[in-house]
Amino acid sequence: MSTNNKVLALKYRPQVFKDLIGQEIIIETIEKSILTNNIPNAFLFTGIRGVGKTTVARILAKSLNCENSKEFSCLENKCNNCNEISESRHIDVLEMDAASKTGVDDVRDLIDFSRYGPTAAKYKIFIIDEVHMLSKQAFNALLKTLEEPPSYLKFIFATTEVNKIPITVLSRCQRFDLMRIQSKILFDHLKKIVSKEDRKIDENVLKLIVKISEGSVRDSLSLLDRALLNQKNDSNLLNLEQAQKIFGYLNKIHLIDLIENILKGEETNVLDTYRNIYSQGIEPKIFLNNFLEIIFYLKNFSNMKNFNSSFNMGDIEITRLSSLSERIDSKTLLLFWQFSIETMTELNLVSNQNLSIEMFLIRLMYIKDENSSYMEIPKKIDTNNIETKFPNENNNDSSKNVNQAVNQIKFSTQEVQDHLIKDEKLNKKHEIKSFEDLLDICKTKKEIELKFELENNVNLVSFQDKKIEISFNENLNKNFIKNISEKLLEWTGKRWIIMFSKKIGFKSIKQKNKNLEKKYIDDLKKSSTYEEALEVFPDLEILNVNNLEDND
């Protein structure tokens, strides 16, 4: 480890692979590739901030160019290459920050520099940090060299947003996803550093640091630095409450108190608790995210295993959550979750987000008492058992009140009668036993469009109870199946199956009528009456035949 007097994040920055924590699988893979001389053209390290992407890149560069690369132990007696790379002055290892050099010209300079072989080491290595910041043109300029670089050239990329890197670049790299550091591993790491610094600190403060850092080693060391700076000496240890104020951390106990007050309907206490949280500098969106976290723990408390081993909650918080989760039902929690999500969207629309949060908390107090039973319509009202209480006869407004009561009874009775009449109409179903019955009911119900489709564009194959089979017709309306199914359900109270068949089926009503009309005309042309008419009118043409008996 470095022994300089820098901040902890730099002072205890790993210099060799064995100093890295929580990335054992990745380190093992890299070491095997070096030992077997199966080294990819480009490495890509991705992960959240502070898990060691740039650190791994620098250690990898040292491992590739180390004079003792087979041992990976250049710690105490550094070789010249490792020493120069650690001090960022090696001529063959170039580190570039893509956040400040994003253009295609910067990449072209890099490519021009790559044409010359290494001077003092085995490989020429380019480390590009925050590689996702490169422009599209810069990525395109890099593609060819990245895919087929000279044998002495290696690329090492680091990024926090791998989704912004073009897929054409990703496919040319060997990708390594660095994981968040587990809470227990990070906690032990912080304890070792405190011991090396010859300092003492409350373990609850260390657990809070682990919780806030969310798996980031750099964040945890920065927070530890702040805690040690605010701790005057080892005899005056920083307590948990003081640490929470220093870090600006929202104590979950306040949120649990807030939810309990919401359930009790104590509006004053709810608003006072929230305003106290807001005065600590907690932004409304951060408050809502923490509120959602508590709702999640309450809903899933019974299903979460090893809760006590988690650094997300303290013992007091776990006890309070356990007690509260037994007294609140899932329906209420799901409603709280839904309204919280909706309020998140609402915050983007209002100018004063603080007022929106206060109204959100007030609404939650009314949600818990809501009952959807008022939405249920009673099936039957027994008007014979309605009790009417008349006021005292001495009351001057007695006649007025009696009239109101009678009117209310009359109105309720009329509602029941209307409801029963409506039900009777709905319950009056029709029987459809044939295709002709279907046409008749369409005519009766004035479903002209449906009747037109049935007569002109339907070729019936078979007609059975609750099942109609027709042949495919290109002229048929695309909504015909949906319309006929809905109407049959409405008219008969049964669900019908409408099927398309490969069979030709019977001719449509329209085609039958045309054939019948043609037969009438042909029969008439064979008659003596037609021949006599032709003698009088040589240009005679028969367009239609009308049966007068049918008209009569």
Please give the Cα distance from 20 to 224 (Å, whole number): 18
Q: What are phi and psi of 471, to 5 degrees?
A: -85, 160
> Looking at residue 430, what is its pLDDT?
78
Sheet holding 497-501, edge to edge: 459-464, 467-471, 497-501
d(CA 508, CA 536): 38
Which CATH architecture is the domain 252-367 placed in? Answer: Up-down Bundle (1.20)
The CATH classification of domain 183-247, taken from the options 1.10.1740.10, 3.90.1150.10, 1.10.10.60, 1.10.8.60: 1.10.8.60
- How far apart CA 20 and CA 16 sit, in angstroms, is 7
Site of tokens 């290109």: 474
How many CB atoms are located within 10 Å of the residue 254 CB?
17
**May I ask the CATH class of domain 8-177?**
alpha beta
Instruction: Provide the residue ranges of all domains of the chain, joining segments of one domain with +.
Output: 8-177, 183-247, 252-367, 379-388+405-428, 435-506, 510-551
471, β-bridge pairs:
459, 501
Q: What is the pLDDT of residue 78?
A: 74
Residues in the chain: 552
What pLDDT is attached to residue 547?
Answer: 61
In tens digits, what is the pLDDT along the chain, a chain of 552 residues? 445 567 888 888 988 888 899 888 999 999 888 888 889 989 999 999 999 999 999 999 988 888 876 666 676 667 888 888 888 888 889 888 888 888 888 888 888 888 888 888 889 999 999 999 998 999 988 888 888 888 899 999 999 999 999 999 999 999 999 999 988 899 999 999 999 888 888 888 888 898 888 889 999 999 998 888 887 666 678 888 888 888 878 788 889 999 999 988 888 999 999 998 888 888 888 899 989 989 998 888 877 655 555 566 667 788 888 888 888 888 888 889 999 998 988 888 888 898 999 999 998 888 765 533 323 333 333 434 434 343 444 444 444 444 444 444 344 444 444 444 444 444 457 788 888 888 888 888 888 888 888 888 788 888 888 888 887 677 777 778 888 888 888 888 888 888 777 677 777 777 777 777 777 777 777 777 777 777 777 777 777 666 655 444
Quick one: CATH architecture of 435-506?
A: 2-Layer Sandwich (3.30)
Name all contacts of 79-85 with Cβ < 8 Å and 24+ positions apart: 80/120, 81/120, 81/121, 85/58, 85/61
Q: Computed from CA positions of residues 152, 153, 156, 161, in that sequence, does the dihedral angle turn out positive or negative? A: negative
Beta-ladder partners of 45: 158, 176
Angle between helices 315-325 and 284-299 (to 10 degrees): 60
C-alpha 165/C-alpha 543 separation (Å) is: 76
- The span from the CA of 521 to the CA of 498, in Å, is 37
Residue 386 pLDDT: 37
Secondary structure of 281-330 in the HEC alphabet? CCCHHHHHHHHHHHHHHHHCHHHCCCHHHCCCCCHHHHHHHHHHHCCCCH
463 φ, ψ (degrees, to nearest 5): -130, 115
| pLDDT value of residue 426 | 45
Q: DSSP for 54-72?
A: HHHHHHHHHHHH-TTTTT-
Within 10 Å of residue 374's Cβ, how many Cβ atoms?
7
Closest CA to 472 of 501, 498, 450, 497: 501
